[in-house]
Chain A
Amino acid sequence: MVEGSIVTIGVVFGAMFLGLILGVPIAIGQVYGKPFLRKIIAVYVWFFRGIPLLVLLFLFYFGFLPLLGLNLPAFTVASIVLGLISSAYQSQIFRGAILSLPEGQLKAARALGMSDFSAICNIILPQALRLSIPGWSNEYSIILKDSAVTYALGVPEIMARTHFVATRTYEHLILYATAGLLYLILTFAGTKALRILEEKVRIPGYATR
């Protein structure tokens, strides 16, 4: 089960990272993009937020990826699917953070001769990303728990190992309670780490709330 935790952490980190690098441009596109781009993004977000994880896992693992001739291991598919879903959710967290910044800042940056791109990168994002950390720690605990579902593809994470041991020893109750405890510890550790990060990157004198 400890080995399983490492696999779980691997899946979660892969997904969070993919969600982050996709979520930021999606959020920027949704706030500042052209109407056509916004439409596409809205459909993307609607798609990945509206379909259950389990269905998406099956769809990608047995459907899309083999069709494209890709035969990826379950671990990779799990990270990708969780990452895509997470990018849809994370984009909404970032969008909220971007929208919470006063509009005047962007105008001021433009007036100082910054290009749109550099204004977003240098003025908006550093603030918005800091504001997003609380939402991000929520997202972490959701992905962590959702990662249990990847057991359906046979990813050898906590849940799969627990079930495997349980079916051999018939100690279901105790083993699942232990698995639950492991998840509680991982959730607690992760949110604590993000809380510390939040303190670390805070700009002195710049109260977020």
Chain B
Amino acid sequence: MNEWIYIQNAVVPALWKGLVVSIELIVPSAIMGLLLGIVVGTLRVYGSVFLRLLSDGYVVLFRGVPLLVQLFTWYFGLPHIGIFLSPFSASVLGFTLCSAAYHSEYVRGALLSIKRGQIMAAQSLGFSTLDTLRYIVLPQAIRRALPGCGNEIIYLIKYSSLAYMITCIELTGQAKALASQSFKYLEIFLIVGFIYLVLVSIASWLLNKLENALVIPGFELYKS
């Protein structure tokens, strides 16, 4: 019975606080990462040679280096050049830049899957390059990239636990603090694992809904 009281009085409030921080980390990172990813992905396909090189380099770098190393660089490295970030903003910066690199890859793939004829047709109808992208190519490409980008958002939910390593106390951080106080590692981390499972399941359900809501009749990806 003692344990039950402990869970009610200590574990639930702490984990709730951690969960709120986790969600505050995940939501802005996911949105900014996706937007930046769309921009970078578009630049990689339609940008000038210089911009293409630049964005390709960005993607290679951020996909090739572990997220943890990136976070440590932002948090411990940037102060050396006079930029001081709080653990929270360093985490959001790290998550955004890293997931944007992955998003851009899905967006690039989707852009390349749009037939060239459509772009030529748009140009022959007098669309400028920017208008062609905005009205013809991107609306289709984003729908095609959505399954991949959804995966990336789910990865982001799980990787948000790494913020704990740069002392941003979110769900995992709260759990670690609780567990080292009470030595109830097994129980507390099982609960936390379950919370992440629920978060991931909710997110994938929502993304599925979104995908279905955006379907253009006649343009379904998978014919069933």
Contacts and interface: CB of A to CB of B under 8 A. Distances in A.
Nearest to B163: A54
Contacts of B190: 59, 63
Interface stretch (B8-16, B37-45, B64-72, B127-135): B64-72
Chain A, interface size category, equals 35 or more
A54 B69 contact: no
A166 B80 CA distance: 12
Nearest to B176: A58
Interface in B140-195: 157-162, 164-165, 172, 175-176, 179, 185-187, 189-190, 192-193
B185 A59 contact: yes
Interface in A148-171: 148-149, 151-152, 159, 162-163, 166, 171
Interface stretch (A28-36, A127-135, A175-183): A175-183
Nearest to B73: A176
B72 A172 contact: yes
Interface residues of B, number: 40
A30 to B, nearest CB: 18
Nearest to B78: A173
A184 interface: yes
Nearest to A186: B64
A51 B69 contact: no
Given A52-B161, A55-B172, A152-B165, A62 B189 contact: yes
Contact of B77 (A59, A145, A146, A173): A173
B164 to A, nearest CB: 7
Interface in A174-209: 176-177, 179-180, 183-184, 187-188
Interface string A38-59: 0000000011011111111011
A173 B75 CA distance: 10
Contact of A58 (B64, B77, B179): B179
Contacts of B197: 46-47, 50-51
A53 B179 CA distance: 17
A67 interface: yes
A144 to B, nearest CB: 8
B32 to A, nearest CB: 21
B30 to A, nearest CB: 15
Contact of A52 (B70, B72, B196): B196
Contacts of B186: 59, 62-64, 67
Interface in B53-96: 60-61, 64-70, 72-73, 76-81
Contact of B80 (A51, A54, A147, A172): A172
Given A54-B161, A149-B162, A63 B69 contact: no
Given A51-B196, A52-B161, A183-B69, A173 B175 contact: no
B151 to A, nearest CB: 10
A8 B179 CA distance: 27
A183 B65 CA distance: 6
Given A149-B162, A173-B80, A176-B72, A58 B185 contact: yes
B222 to A, nearest CB: 14
B66 A183 contact: yes
Nearest to B187: A63
A176 B77 contact: yes
B101 to A, nearest CB: 12
Contacts of A147: 66
A145 B192 CA distance: 23
Interface in A92-134: none
Contacts of B67: 145, 148
Interface of A: 46-47, 49-56, 58-59, 62-64, 66-67, 141, 144-149, 151-152, 159, 162-163, 166, 171-173, 176-177, 179-180, 183-184, 187-188
16 contacts: A54-B162, A55-B189, A55-B193, A56-B193, A58-B185, A59-B193, A63-B190, A66-B185, A145-B65, A148-B67, A148-B69, A159-B68, A176-B72, A176-B76, A183-B69, A184-B65
